[in-house]
């Protein structure tokens, strides 16, 4: 088999890692696929920019067509980011019969179905393992390792930036703004951190996971999203007092033929496996009817972990080339989209209230919950510095989201409730 030539779109953090791995692991790649692998062209914005890796200047180009229309290039690896222009590049690549490997979760969450369909029609592979959870092989595990099982729930920490921020806030009591600045200085957070801290990055990844895990076409718009920007030091303190740890958790669950996908700050018991996942690490907990509980843990970002996932996909493409089966790995979704409504989503909830400190107020609040058949698992009641106010912190037993939303509305309308300070989902009792 002849040498395989690669065109690389982008030479940033991940692109530099891909170059390093391809150059340093030639013996391993040769052993896996039986032929050499060469990077033939690399698309960059600025030819004179200093790089994190030394590359021959003759490999660099600012014209994408030097890769997309080059008949000698077999595989296009996309690590440049972006959505609309990148989509056009990848469509052009597969139409020119080039296989594609991408680490772009934004692109796959929005246009994954279109790109996979186009790749299959052109007998090309399109692999995207690195788009979710960096170096953790979660997508391949769902598609291959757990292919015979029926996945009922996936739940995890899939954004390293927010996990780093919440870890620092919880462990050291550091204020949000201070930790965000530290995350930006360390390169964990972008200068505009909106996609991370508002939960959008995690939501895109959960849409991809749920589509694969449930064999159902789920879009970003199907994911209910709440970020971490409103979490306070008091919320974290009360969580600890009640035996919980706060994490930004992505949840995708299926009951019968109906699914729910969400990303939101969630309280986990300190005994839950995800509660001990700290700093920039990611972990995904998967529950299958046959296998039971499995957990995938590792670095969720970074040059070499993400590049490892990219090059693993590259190996998959090249093995398919050797076997002559490219473009046959995509399996169309088995089920039509069927989302749970609010009356079918059940969880425990944490709620923190400031109320008038008067006789009978707590009894009235209890009756609002009991009208909807919702009881309490844990209760804290504390006086506030303002003499006429008290703080009540409650953790409910399981309730439907519909009932809980109606309860919140009634609490808002009750004149003795000064303010609902915060409310969060509570998951698990040490296990799923």
- Coil, helix or strand for 348? strand
Residues whose CB is less than 8 angstroms from the CB of residue 176 and which lie 6 or more positions away in sequence, other chains included: 165, 169, 228, 229, 231
342 in Cβ contact with 260 (< 8 Å):
no
- Coil, helix or strand for 81? coil
Query: CA 74 from chain center: how many Å?
Result: 30
Site of tokens 């076409």: 217
Residue 418 designated active-site: no
Number of residues assigned to the chain? 432
275 in Cβ contact with 145 (< 8 Å):
no
Cα–Cα distance between 295 and 421 in angstroms, integer? 33
The DSSP letter of residue 301 is S
Sort strands 346-356 and 258-269 into parallel, antiparallel or unpaired.
Answer: unpaired
The DSSP letter of residue 9 is E
* Selected catalytic residue, list 41, 105, 205, 340: 205
Q: Please give the torsion angle defined by the CA atoms of residues 170, 176, 180 and 183, in that order, rounded to the nearest 10 degrees.
A: -10
232 in Cβ contact with 155 (< 8 Å):
no
- Coil, helix or strand for 106? helix
Residues with active-site annotation: 205
């Amino acid at each position: 088999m002849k040498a395989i030539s690669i065109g690389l779109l982008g030479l940033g953090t991940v692109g530099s890692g891909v170059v390093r791995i391809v150059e340093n692991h030639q013996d391993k790649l040769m052993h896996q696929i039986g032929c050499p692998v060469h990077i033939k062209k690399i698309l960059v914005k600025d030819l004179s920019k200093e790089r994190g890796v030394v590359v021959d200047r003759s490999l660099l180009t600012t014209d994408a067509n030097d890769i997309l229309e080059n008949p000698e290039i077999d595989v296009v690896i996309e690590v440049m980011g972006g959505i609309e222009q990148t989509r056009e590049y990848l469509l052009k690549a597969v139409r020119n019969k080039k296989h594609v490997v991408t680490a772009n979760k934004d692109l796959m969450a929005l246009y994954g179905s279109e790109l996979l369909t186009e790749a299959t029609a052109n007998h090309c592979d399109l692999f995207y393992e690195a788009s979710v959870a960096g170096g953790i092989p979660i997508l391949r595990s769902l598609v291959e390792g757990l292919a015979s099982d029926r996945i009922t729930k996936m739940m995890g920490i899939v954004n390293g930036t927010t996990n780093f921020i919440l870890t620092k806030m919880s462990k050291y009591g550091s204020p949000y703004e201070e930790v965000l600045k530290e995350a930006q200085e360390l390169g964990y957070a972008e200068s505009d951190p909106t996609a991370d801290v508002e939960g959008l990055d995690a939501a895109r990844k959960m849409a991809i996971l749920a589509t694969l895990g449930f064999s159902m076409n789920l879009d970003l718009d199907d994911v209910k999203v709440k970020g971490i920007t409103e979490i306070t030091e008091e919320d974290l303190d009360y969580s600890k007092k009640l035996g919980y740890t706060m994490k930004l958790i992505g949840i995708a669950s299926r009951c019968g033929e109906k699914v729910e996908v969400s990303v939101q700050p969630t309280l986990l018991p300190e005994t839950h496996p995800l509660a001990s996942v700290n700093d920039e690490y990611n972990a995904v907990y998967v529950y299958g009817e046959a296998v039971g509980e499995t957990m995938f843990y590792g670095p969720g970002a970074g040059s070499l972990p993400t590049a490892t996932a990219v090059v693993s996909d590259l190996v998959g493409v090249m093995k398919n080339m050797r076997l002559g089966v490219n473009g046959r790995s995509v399996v169309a979704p088995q089920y039509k989209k069927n989302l749970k409504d609010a009356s079918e989503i059940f969880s425990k909830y944490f709620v923190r209230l400031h109320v008038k400190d008067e006789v009978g107020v707590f009894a009235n609040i209890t009756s609002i919950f009991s009208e909807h058949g919702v009881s309490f698992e844990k209760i804290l009641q504390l006086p506030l510095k303002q003499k006429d106010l008290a703080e009540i912190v409650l953790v409910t037993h399981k309730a439907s989201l519909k009932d809980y939303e109606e309860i919140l509305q009634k609490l808002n309308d009750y004149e003795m409730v000064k303010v609902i300070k915060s409310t969060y989902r509570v998951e698990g009792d040490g296990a799923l």
